[in-house]
Chains A and B, each alone.
Chain A
Amino acid sequence: MENFCAYIGERTRSKGNSILFRVDDPSEREVAWNVFEQEMDATACFLKSCQIQEKDKILCLVSRPLSWLKLFFAALKIGAIPIVGNFRDRFFLQGILSENSPAYVCSDEEKELEPFLSSSSKVILLNDFASLEKYDIYALKDADDILCALYTSGSMGKPKYIEKSYRNLITELQFLKNLLKMQQDDVVLSLVPNVHIYGMLFGLLLPIMAGAQAIYTNCLLPREVMKIARDKNVNFLIGAPIHYQAFIETNDPDQKMSHLKLAISSGGPLPARVAQKFFRLTGVNILEIYGSTETGGIAYRLWDGMVDSPSLQLFPYIEKKIEAQSEINELVIQSPAISSNVLMAENRGWHHTGDFVRFEEGNRFKIVGRQEQIMKVGGKRISTTQLEEEIKTIPGIKDVAVVRMESSSYRESGVAFVEIQENANLIRSEIQKEFQKRSANYRSIQDIIILDKIPRNPNGKILYSHLRINKTNPKIGMIIPTYNHGLILRKVVLSALEYISDILVVVDGSTDNTMEVLQNLPIKILAFPKNRGKGRALKTGFQEAKKLGWNYAITMDSDGQHKAQDIPQFLKAISENPEAIVVGDRNMELPSIPSSSKFGKKFTNFWLKVETGLSIADGQSGFRAYPIHSINAVHSWFNRYEFEVEILARSAWKGIPIISIPVQVDYHPEGKRISHFRPFMDNFRTTILNTILVTIRILMLVHGLVKKVIRKVKASCKV
């Protein structure tokens, strides 16, 4: 059955006049299985009468969903290749005509066809054909022949052309059908157009395979969507992250969608905050699909309110390639669902996703970063190198670096840093205008900044991450407290400078060569005449950060145990959780970690739980990010190592959220590493701290209880 139309034929016989597809827009329309089959057949006859042959490409310029559907399936039925997409972009037609001129262009509106009249493609106007001829032949194709092709959305830049074979689609659909347990009486509501691979798979082909009813709506407002979901007893909701974000911000008391079994999100990363709140409001889990138009779905995770941030689970038919023996790898995959024209273009047989992941047991993983040069824009990847090339063609530009900005929105964009030729007199707005004229990707650049010089390292490599921090708004700096780590300190600071340009080193009365090794570095230094403790150093650092106008400070130890490569993770966590203290959770499973540290971590976490009721993954970690304004308002008593535990407890009591992110840790084999943490004395001092904190906590609880009792007594007196 290598032709999806056969499913329609089969279901027509079993489901007859029940609804197959409904369009919920102001002019609501619906079509039953049997009527749809007739109309599809009539369209197939019409296409045949236009001399369209098997394997001919038909560009589908139909925008009305029902007409689109008929054309799409009729084309499949006769074995032609429908090319679909959202064709509204001014650069789009040029692109198609030059790169990929299709044999036929088909529309139901005459004016859509005008641009093609002078091209080599034959234009076909879809008439209202009254004939209801049967068309009984299903074109037989090989599973690897191209079935259809998609252009990725053009509204954010140059569309990509992606071919899909039957094997590409059916591999994923069969898995999804089991994963979602979609039944033949289910109702699926899709907010994603069918011309998007995600909408096509989940909102159209999957329901057709399962025999479910598919509803498509282009309603925007969450209230309207919820109303449809309620009125039509919708079981599955297909949306993009922005849809769920809009849902949770609506705050509608009438949000119960009682038939909804599962919500699905794809097309961009779903913020944890959105998934968790959606679950709290509706009680419905969100199944998040990670993938792209090129690959289809790659992995999934279920936001069921049980885990703060679940790991992604690789689809079972996807093979991964681990290229290096390191903890973090680029996700490189092979799968029958990847488009062959994509694999062929990559010429390696493996698809490089550009995402860096950390694998866990059972083919689970977490995404920890992305190749510097890849931006994700609405489910599509744009390379910053390509944007750089495009900007370089503007006369007067000497050098350019495009930096991807961390963004919580589904639509990433970059900032272009440009260096102007000496004799040229270009200004920013002129560059913008020129770029807009010559590039289809102009919306992927949110800002252009002129620099005297693009920073490059001694080997001539652009220091992208350095540029990125320059642009971060709010301002984020780094505080490195240090005491007698002269041997490694310079290396630590240099590695951090690769990622962050504002660094404050607080020298806590070091007696070694610390001040020497800090010479000629572009950093700020505060020095205590004698050792006053890490806590005091940090507190002084926070005060200074406020004076420097920083909004956040990332703190990092100076002994080399933390990796500067983790800094981008903190930036991301800050942008997603602007109120929170972010604590880097050190992976303590490595054999090189001294057992005294492992004990310290567990010991601290136990007490923190008693004191705050919070489970903090690593309460002793010094690799953290603090929001400056709120941290300066938290009072603390302790000035040494205990400070870092104390500040967490006190912040938690003040209602400052505390979140953990995984970080790498590098403990040098014992002896080589110089730690000033004295296992006995410092754990002893920590015990004193904990005693005090627990006492305060108990007093707070008792106080709360007493208040409650008083209130109750008062209330009962009134009665």
Chain B
Amino acid sequence: MQSIELLKKELKNLIITSLNLQNTTEQEIQEDEPLFREGLGLDSIDALELAVALEKKYSIKFEDEKLARQSFQSINTLASFIHQKKHSLSA
């Protein structure tokens, strides 16, 4: 099982590449900062693009809209959501 720190690093890079944020560096994304509206200032289309990319990469499914929204709050919440999903898959 992949460590959560590694996962966060991976997520930041995925956000940067899939949303054309090459201007942003990994270090600039704060792990507890809101990803949408404030912080990186992503919008709902970004969120959808990111959701599609995450589902593909981690073979997970976002099934519940409310849960998905909560998990999209920050890198931290997103990492723990994916970690949990992967864990429950392999369990």
Contacts and interface: CB of A to CB of B under 8 A. Distances in A.
Interface string A275-302: 0000000000000000000000000000
Contacts of A153: 43
A26 interface: yes
Contacts of A86: 43
Contact of B65 (A220, A240, A435, A447): A220
B44 interface: yes
A89 B22 CA distance: 19
Contact of B51 (A155, A221, A409, A443): A221
A28 B9 CA distance: 37
Nearest to A219: B65
A155 B51 CA distance: 18
Nearest to A436: B23
A148 to B, nearest CB: 22
Contacts of B43: 86, 88, 153, 155
A445 B21 CA distance: 8
B49 interface: yes
Given A220-B65, A411-B20, A443-B21, A88 B41 contact: yes
B26 to A, nearest CB: 12
B22 A446 contact: yes
Interface in A213-230: 218-221, 223-224
Contact of A246 (B20, B46, B51): B51
Interface in A236-256: 240, 242-243, 245-246, 249
B47 interface: yes
Interface in B30-44: 37, 41-44
Interface in B48-91: 48-49, 51-52, 55-56, 62-63, 65-66, 68-69
A3 interface: no
Nearest to B47: A220
Nearest to A445: B23
B68 A221 contact: yes
Contacts of A552: none
Interface string B1-33: 000000000000000000011110100000000
A88 B34 CA distance: 14
Given A246-B48, A246-B52, A223 B63 contact: yes
Interface in A445-478: 445-448
A249 B45 CA distance: 16
Query: Which among B45, B51, B52, B68 has the greatest number of chain A C-beta atoms within 10 A?
Result: B45
Given A90-B41, A242-B48, A249-B55, A221 B20 contact: no
Given A246-B51, A446-B20, A447-B22, A224 B45 contact: no
A429 interface: yes
Contacts of B47: 220
A443 B45 CA distance: 15
Interface in A136-180: 153, 155
A245 B48 CA distance: 10
A378 interface: yes
A158 B29 CA distance: 23
A509 to B, nearest CB: 46
A432 interface: yes
A218 B66 contact: no
Contacts of A429: 25
Contacts of A89: 41
A452 to B, nearest CB: 22
A442 interface: yes
Contacts of A446: 20-23
Contacts of A223: 63
A406 B66 CA distance: 35
Contacts of A445: 23
Query: Which among A220, A378, A435, A445 has the greatest number of chain B C-beta atoms within 10 A?
Result: A220
Nearest to B69: A220
B73 to A, nearest CB: 14
Nearest to B21: A443
B44 to A, nearest CB: 6
A601 B66 CA distance: 58
A155 B46 CA distance: 10
A580 to B, nearest CB: 21
A387 to B, nearest CB: 12
A86 B37 CA distance: 11
Contacts of B55: 249
Contact of B52 (A155, A245, A447): A245
A413 interface: yes
B30 to A, nearest CB: 16
B52 A240 contact: no
Contact of A443 (B20, B56, B62, B63): B20
Contacts of B56: 249
A26 B42 contact: no
Nearest to A442: B23
A26 B45 contact: no
Contacts of B62: 221
Contacts of A219: 65
22 contacts: A26-B65, A26-B66, A88-B37, A88-B41, A218-B44, A219-B65, A220-B48, A220-B68, A221-B51, A223-B63, A242-B52, A243-B48, A246-B48, A246-B51, A409-B20, A411-B20, A413-B20, A435-B23, A446-B20, A446-B21, A446-B22, A448-B23
Interface of B: 20-23, 25, 37, 41-49, 51-52, 55-56, 62-63, 65-66, 68-69
**Top 7 nearest A-B pairs by Cβ distance?**
A446-B22, A155-B43, A224-B65, A447-B22, A446-B20, A413-B20, A246-B52
Given A220-B65, A224-B65, 17 more contacts: A88-B41, A155-B42, A155-B43, A220-B44, A220-B51, A220-B69, A221-B51, A221-B62, A223-B63, A242-B45, A242-B48, A242-B52, A243-B48, A246-B51, A443-B20, A443-B23, A446-B23
